[in-house]
Amino acid sequence: MRKVIIFGVDGLVMPLLKQFASEGSLPHINTMLKKGSSAELLPFISAWGDVNWVSFLTGQCPGTSWIGQCMPPDNTTSQNLLYLLEQAGLRAALVHFPESISARAPHFELVPYWGRKGQSPYEISAPAMYSTLYGARNAKSTPKRQKLGWPPAAALAYHEKGSCKPIVIEAGEYRFQLANSITEPTTVTAVPAGDELLLRLGNETAMLHIGKWSEWVPVSVNGAQGYVRFFLGKYIPEEGSIEILQSQVLRSEGLSNNPALEAELVSLLGPFISKWIVKISPQEEYLTSAIKEAEYQSLWLADSATHLTRNCGISLWATVHRLVDEAHHNCLGQYDPASPFYKEDTAAQFGEVIRECYKVLDRTIGRIMETMDDETTLMLVSDHGGVPNSYMCDIYRYLAKHDLVKLDGEGNVIIEESRVFLKDERGGLEIYINLLGREPKGIVLQTEYELLREKVLRALGNWHIEDNGQCRNAVSIALKKEDAVGIGYWGEYAGDIVFAYNTGFVWGVSATGEDICPVEAPGANHGPQKPTAETAVSSNYGVLLAYGKAIRAGYYRDKAVCGPHRMVDPGATIAKLLGLTPTALDGTIMDDFINNEGDKK
């Protein structure tokens, strides 16, 4: 049976992949490069995960496939790739894939990635840090003047984690309450046992060793069952200082649309986690705990790919792993010489963290390759890359200056008094005319529609910043909806104007009210910057490495000569690899990747 395994990676970039592979750090990925085919993939605007993963896996442009974040299109209506599989009696497994695409039965969907605010319905206890030093850990640092991300209220770009919770010392015991165990508090105690600690949770025990994750322990949180483990970060009894990390706890059941298959995977591979507690940054004290958690998750995913495709009749398996993107967001701004925050003396330590994350990925690919059979094609793919931030842009402040939107005293948009607006769920690069009769709070007459679009385009074209004697345009592309067909936008959901920021520009809100200004902290981003943004080190293009069944060996598609492949081209190619005809798909079969010398590898 033909099978395709898609190991999706949030934000992987080709220049770093090639650099680390040529240094010898990525032996398995190097095999993919040498014995398979590779290319850059051109993301759609905005170059962020949801819209591009949906386009990738449906094989259809955003005009057809993209409604909004966490708003999956109907597979049957759009006749996308998953529909084609279903019609041919084939099944896909989406394991921890973004929930903006639906893999309802007969497909298998396990723990879709929760991209919304609030606690995931699969999580019963959030990952947490407990400390006797929690006061100092939670001491308020100077609040940031800028919030980066879309929608404007979100601050996702910094990948901030939760606050620290207290450990109290009572009668020689260390005690804390498990995160989220509110209706039925779950007390955890730890007692000294030589250089180690013996942890007790109900009737269960586990040994804690410094710098290591414990065994998994069954736990009940507010009546729901799951598994938890702990990492002993610090243990200095004479100073009374102790710090313990707790893994995320997902429910033991109810994670998928197929309870039997779900139970089989958990009993074979152990508990799954969807996130780690510590931020991926060299400035974090317990970074190693996060790298270990991410590798545990990554190998779990790899083993599930092997099991589901080899033993459970799954033809197409896909996931998205999110370690590398977090490393880029937190480290590229100090590693890439094009960043305003680059310093020669600290660049190496940030580069080392990025390299470590790529190595986790490499070991994962090695694990899949070890057990891959001759009927399987493996694809290592990313949805976009990342490029350092230099300037922050607040689109609402700027449009307000041009009398196009109305803001209240706190800078929030008043839609019913605004002539244009943006939609939170669409990624922040589409401007909608607030048309009477079309929009819920519409005020603009149809007769004003065209003139308003002209006014918006003129304003976007004039948006710039003077910095260090240089003038840089904020916006790189701005198109009317009917002109955006060439970049994949059409249909009832597309904005009246589609645009993208320039290389190094990021969306955000400044407490001091600028509509455009230098960023205050190092970082890197992808969503707002144009899909083709590049520096010598970074790139906003996605990547595709293919290897195995039917794939040509040793081929790299040079985008400067042939152009990149588009985010929808792999969908058509996967259809071909699985023996389907990609009738309603938008992509082109990537014939240059296909081995035309018969069926051998």
Q: Interface residues with Zn ion (CB under 5 A)?
A: 325
Residue 146 forms beta bridges with which residues?
510
Closer residue to Zn ion (CB): 115 or 166: 115
Q: Between 293 and 325, name the residue whose CB sits nearer to Zn ion.
A: 325
**Which residue's CB is nearer to Zn ion, number 245 or number 519?**
519
Query: Which residue's CB is nearer to Zn ion, number 62 or number 226?
Result: 62
Nearer to Zn ion (CB atom), residue 159 or residue 438: 159
Determine the Cα angle at 497 with ends 496 and 502, to 5°: 165
**Cβ closer to Zn ion: 40 or 325?**
325
**Measured between alpha carbons, how far is 568 from 149 in angstroms, rounded to an integer?**
25
- C-alpha–C-alpha distance, residues 321 and 12, integer Å: 10
Distances in Å between the Cα of 478 and the Cα atoms of 296, 380, 484, 500, 548 are: 43, 32, 9, 7, 40
Closest CB to Zn ion among residues 508, 548: 508
**Shortest separation between residue 328's beta carbon and Zn ion, angstroms:** 7
Q: Residue 500 Cβ, how far from Zn ion at the closest point, in Å?
A: 16
Q: Pick between residue 262 and residue 534 the one whose CB is nearest to Zn ion.
A: 534
Residue holding tokens 């605010």?
Answer: 117
Say which residues have a Cβ less than 8 Å from residue 40's Cβ, sequence separation at least 6: 14, 539, 541, 542, 543, 544, 557, 559, 564, 565
> Rounded to an integer, what distance in angstroms lies between the CA atom of residue 100 and that of residue 49?
10
Q: How far is the CB of 524 from Zn ion (least distance, A)?
A: 9
Q: Are 520 and 155 in contact (CB under 8 A)?
A: no
Query: CB of residue 183 vs Zn ion: minimum separation in angstroms?
Result: 34
Decide if 417 contacts 384 (C-beta within 8 A). Answer: no
Q: Would you say 287 and 353 are in contact if contact means Cβ atoms under 8 Å apart?
A: yes
Cβ pair 434, 441 in contact under 8 A: yes
Structure tokens at 228: 């938890």
Q: Please state the length of the chain.
A: 601
Residue 526 CB, shortest distance to Zn ion, in Å, is 6
**What is the smallest separation between the CB atom of 362 and Zn ion, expressed in angstroms?**
20
Q: How far is the CB of 337 from Zn ion (least distance, A)?
A: 21
What minimum distance in Å lies between the beta carbon of 11 and Zn ion?
Answer: 5
| Backbone angles phi and psi of 415, in degrees to 5 | -60, -45
Buried b (16+ CB within 10 A) or exposed e, 53-74: bbbbbbbbbbbbbbbbbeebbe
In angstroms, the CA 114 to CA 574 distance is: 26
CB of 522 to Zn ion, least distance (A): 15
Q: How far is the CB of 505 from Zn ion (least distance, A)?
A: 16
**Cβ distance to Zn ion smaller for residue 262 or 325:** 325
* CA 477 – CA 384 distance, rounded (Å): 17
Given the complex with Zn ion, which of 81 and 387 has the nearer CB atom?
387
Chain residue at closest Cβ approach to Zn ion: 325
Say if strands 430-433 and 420-421 run parallel, antiparallel, or are unpaired: antiparallel
Rank residues 63 and 386 by Cβ distance to Zn ion and give the closer one: 386
Q: How far is the CB of 52 from Zn ion (least distance, A)?
A: 11
* Whole-angstrom distance, CA of residue 417 vs CA of residue 442: 9
